[in-house]
Structure 1
């Protein structure tokens, strides 16, 4: 950066400057089982998120035992008017969708009544002291293939796992686990996620008519 404003932290990492937007927390709160007899959850953001691209939603399931299985995530709304998100339990044998979340985007929102705001040369708001940054903490894709079986509908189902602990304050990006994946055939395959609190495992499960064994999707985590 040749001119403007720049802040660095104690590790000499740039945290704010007048050229680039960081990952900004635009909404946060809790999600609860309020749809489909406790299997589904619709969460409304405290305010409409006005970014063109859907916000990134990070969640942290409640609980210390059992399996929280979440799937079919989607952001509710349209470009420039995102109002919330939906997520569903894997089935009746996993925990209900219940926990905390925060939603992020690469665009600040003018929320602070006082403090500091920073714009770039094109008048885009880059920083507002009322919208804190989120920090990516880790990601991994070293999944181990475990086994395959079939769903009650007869579709091939693959299981992958990784050793996993959930540090205090850490949330997982759920958008990617709501997207269908490529299959070997013309149909896509569905993707599901299990948090096994008691066994310290994180599972990814794929279901599709021609379900290949290759699986490289990263799991991404962040903190407020």
Structure 2
């Protein structure tokens, strides 16, 4: 950078820069079952996220003694006023939606009563000392195809797995698991995922009338910084 502010930590890593925004944690808390007989969960943020693009929501299932599932992810709100998210467990055989979450955006919001704020040249707030940041920790898409079967409706269901560990301070991005995927026909592939803590395995499941075997969706993890 030619001018402005730049701050480095003791490892010589740039942590604040007046030209580039970081992933800032706008709100965090817990999500829990709220509807659909305990299978669905709607969570509202403590403060709305004011970014134009949908914020990034990261979750960590709370009951590691059970198989946790996730499907039907949906952001609540509109551009500039994102207020919450909805998620549903995968099936009645998986645990109810319950755990911790944080929501982040690549822009800060005015939260601190005192401290420091930093804007870029266009007036976009990049840093607020009352808004913690998050760090991406890892991502992978080296899924292994496990098996296929059919649903009661005759749709084809593919299972993919990857071994994983889930440290207590790590959360998984769920926005991309709310998307449908291209299939071999006119009906898109529906996407789900489950965590089996007993075996240390993350599963992805796709369902469609014409369901290809190829699967490359990345699973992305991050942690909040104090």
The TM-score bracket by the shorter chain reads over 0.9
Residues in 2 aligned to 1:74 and 1:66: alpha-carbon distance in whole angstroms? 24
TM-score by structure 2 length? 0.98
**1:203 is matched with which residue?**
203
Q: How many residues align?
A: 224
**1:192 is matched with which residue?**
192
Residues in 2 aligned to 1:11 and 1:59: alpha-carbon distance in whole angstroms? 28
* SS, match of residue 63 in structure 2: coil
1:104 Cα deviation from its structure 2 partner: 0.5
- Counterpart check, 1:183 vs 2:193: no
1:45 Cα deviation from its structure 2 partner: 0.4
> What's the CA shift string for 1:77-105, capped at 9, x where partnerless?
11111110000011111000000000000
**1:132 is matched with which residue?**
132
TM-score by structure 1 length? 0.99
**1:171 is matched with which residue?**
171
Which segment drifts farther, 9-18 or 207-216? 9-18
**2:158 is matched with which residue?**
158
The answer for unaligned runs of 5 or more in structure 1 is: none
Residues in 2 aligned to 1:126 and 1:90: alpha-carbon distance in whole angstroms? 37
1:28-107 equivalences under 5 Å are 28-107=28-107
> What's the CA shift string for 1:150-198, capped at 9, x where partnerless?
1111100000001111012000000001100000111111000000011
Residues in 1 aligned to 2:213 and 2:46: alpha-carbon distance in whole angstroms? 40
Structure 1 outlier segments of 4+, above 2 Å: none
